[in-house]
Amino acid sequence: MQIGKEQQEFEILPTEADQQPVAPPPPEPQQQPEDAPA
């Protein structure tokens, strides 16, 4: 990917929101114990 020859240097401080997931993770499916009776 070409972003251009002339490049300026920065230090970006993320906000707290920057590092939060945008969408919540899907719920984990409930696991049945392997030895549970059918």
Residues that bind other proteins in the complex, under the rule CB under 8 A:
1-15, 17-26
Residue 2 corresponds to which tokens in the numbers above? 């070409």
CB nearer other proteins, residue 1 or residue 36: 1
Shortest Cβ distance from residue 31 to other proteins (Å)?
A: 17
Give the span between the Cα atoms of 3 and 22, in whole angstroms. 26
Shortest Cβ distance from residue 16 to other proteins (Å)?
A: 9
Integer angstrom CA distances of residue 14 from 7, 8, 11, 24, 31: 20, 18, 10, 20, 37
CB nearer other proteins, residue 29 or residue 33: 29
